[in-house]
Amino acid sequence: MSGLRALQQAFRDYVLSGETAGIVPRIADSARTGAAQRLAVYGEAYRLRLLEALESDFRVLKAVLGDEGFERIGRRYIEAHPSRHFSIRWFGAGLADSLRRADEAPWLAELAAFEWAMTEVFDAADAAVVTVADVAAVAPERWPGMRLFPHPSVRRLDLHWAVAQLWKDVQDGATPSPPARTPQPVAWVLWRRDLTNYFRSLSAPEAWALDAAGAGSPFADLCQGLCEWFGEAEAPLQAAGLLKGWVQEGLIGAVETGG
């Protein structure tokens, strides 16, 4: 290994983990500061930049925790999950899971998951959306085998806490307060239309149908599955009604009829 490469790796190890053995002896003291202090400038700058990235992606979480509380969980996350991706955009991907494993209020993890989903929705690929006219053009005999493909921005969450309302309250300028726990998990869908993010709750049958559609189930299977909530005669009408609503909201990116 070349001397330069060894020096670079030693510096990387210091920045990521604070390991000084391989780098401090290779840094000269100055008249004003020692090698360890000079290195600390870079180590701290690295962590502050990652904290800035987390603050950008989790603004509501920071508003709820306050500056000190957010810095505490942020620095803990940084030490446990050094950045591994070439883009800092993805650094916060594991924060929600980290909070789930930590001794923190359980709703904080759900709030982080909601905020991260919102960033994914906004950054998702652009794509056309299916129109009502597109669906109307599908021949009736092809409806049973028709498959629906959600728009790339669509995300699904099941939340035990009212963190979506908390997020909205903070965005509206209200003072944040801990959210209430719901009696049962609530299904949510998040998506983007044009340059605006949207989200709303789903009933149990709609959540099941949307998930089934996203997994590639044909329309006939959606109708059959909805019989768990509706009678056999009513289920196809319910499925058609859900499809119309999804199309009007811009949730469906493509329809495949099998030829």
Q: Domain extents for the chain?
A: 1-57+75-93, 126-259
**Distance between CA 26 and CA 42 in Å, rounded?**
15
What's the predicted TM-score (pTM) here? 0.88
Query: What is the Cα–Cα distance from 239 to 225, expressed in whole angstroms?
Result: 10
The 3-state DSSP class for residue 111 equals helix
With 60 as the cut, is the pLDDT of residue 259 above it? no
Catalogue the E-assigned strands of the chain: 147-150, 155-161, 181-193, 196-202, 252-256
DSSP 185-233: EEEEEEEEETTEEEEEEE-HHHHHHHHHHHTT-BHHHHHHHGGGTS-TT
Report the pLDDT value the prediction gives residue 129, as an integer from 0 to 100: 96
Q: Give the CA radius of gyration of the chain.
A: 25
Q: What is the C-alpha separation between 114 and 162, in angstroms, rounded?
A: 11
**Cβ-contact 83, 134 below 8 angstroms:** no
Give the torsion sign (CA, 106, 109, 112, 117): negative
C-alpha of 30 from chain center: 45
Which residues on neighbouring strands pair with residue 254, listed in sequence order? 149
Q: Which residues face 198 on adjacent strands?
A: 191
User: What is the per-residue pLDDT for 3?
Assistant: 74
In whole angstroms, give the CA distance from residue 231 to residue 12.
Answer: 63
Q: Is the pLDDT of residue 15 over 70?
A: no
Is the pLDDT at 251 greater than 90? The verdict is yes
The letter for the amino acid at 259 is G
Q: Is 197 exposed, middle or buried, given 0-12, 13-18 or 19+ CB atoms closer than 10 A?
A: middle
**Residue 36 confidence (pLDDT):** 66
Using CA atoms, how far apart are residues 70 and 229, in angstroms rounded to an integer?
43
Output the pLDDT for position 148: 97
Pairing of strands 252-256, 155-161: unpaired
Nearest to 57 by CA among 123, 7, 138, 143: 123
Tens-digit pLDDT profile for residues 231-245: 999 999 999 999 999
Region label for 87, one of left (φ > 0), alpha (ψ between -120 and 50) or beta (otherwise): beta
Res. 83 pLDDT band, cuts 50 70 90: confident
Q: pLDDT band at residue 206, thresholds of 50, 70 and 90?
A: very high
Predicted pLDDT at 30 = 67
**pLDDT of 31 higher than 90:** no
30 vs 126 pLDDT, higher one: 126
Could you give the CA distance from residue 50 to residue 124 in angstroms, rounded to a whole number?
Answer: 22
**pLDDT at residue 75, rounded to an integer:** 94
Neighbours of 236 (CB within 10 A): 19
| Average pLDDT value for the chain | 90
